[in-house]
Amino acid sequence: MDLGLATTAALTAVAAVAGCVDAIAGGGGLLTLPALLTAGVPAPLALGTNKGQSVFGSGAATLRFARAGKLTWRRSLPSFAAGFAGSLAGAAAVSQLDTAALKPLIIVLLCVAAVLVLVPRPTTARTPARPLLTATAIALVVGGYDGFFGPGTGTLLIVGYLWLLGEAADAASANAKVVNFASNLAAVAWFGAHGAIVWSVSLPMAAGQFVGALVGAHVVLTRGGGVVRLAAVAVALALVAKLSWGLIG
């Protein structure tokens, strides 16, 4: 599938912004998935192609946070495994859906994910009695969502770590990337094996994701970025409106 140089370059630029946004607060898929659909990539291929590029962003952010000492290693390996398993199950489930019903479902899920990005985050929360079990359960459930759909996954993980584990904001962002990387990796393995990734589009976008994620991780480690999250939601909702108009028009 050839989208042309100009369209691919535009998607790469979107991926760079999305990688930055995702590393800071999650929700990068709210930019890349609608952009792929708007560019004319069919819905089943758009889901796989989105995973093919986003895995590079989550991997870059995970590496940056690990080097900065922000990961909770005791929970990282079980969370990685749970996120990987959940994502495989989610990807297998979405592959069974009728392609005619997939685009309307994506629009609904994008709207829900955009709202979740705006959910106020608690500043404090009590640590649970079994933090390892809680973290693993969060990874399994949200990993399943990521394999099935994806956008907003990072935000869901961060909110879960803040609300249910009582983590600080920077630690929650860092630990979320471990699971996000695992779930992206599993989804890429599934979609790639089933020929559902347009690599000629995904790889250029991956380069943008990688650079953007490193920048976003640096922002988390220095200042944070609520304004970026709000901008991502505004763009995503505009793209959802465009897709919805095309669907009913």
Tokens of 232: 């991502």
**Four-point Cα dihedral 196, 240, 201, 192, nearest 10:** -20
Q: Give percent of the chain above pLDDT 90.
A: 34
**Any idea of the CA torsion for 154, 157, 163, 164, to the nearest 10 degrees?**
-170
Model confidence pLDDT, tens digit, residues 53-70: 999 988 998 998 888 888
The reported pLDDT for the residue numbered 168 is 75
Name every residue whose Cβ is closer than 8 Å to that of residue 129 and which is 6 or more positions away in sequence. Answer: none
- pLDDT tens, position by position, 186-243: 989 999 998 999 999 999 999 999 999 899 888 877 765 555 555 556 655 665 666 5
In the three-class reduction of DSSP (H, G, I as helix; E, B as strand; rest coil), residue 59 is classed as helix
Range(s) of the domain holding residue 231: 5-248
For 182, how many CA atoms within 13 A lie in the half-sphere containing its CB? 27
Tokens for 131, please give them. Answer: 């933090």
Domain count, the chain: 1
Query: What is the predicted pLDDT for the residue at 9?
Result: 94
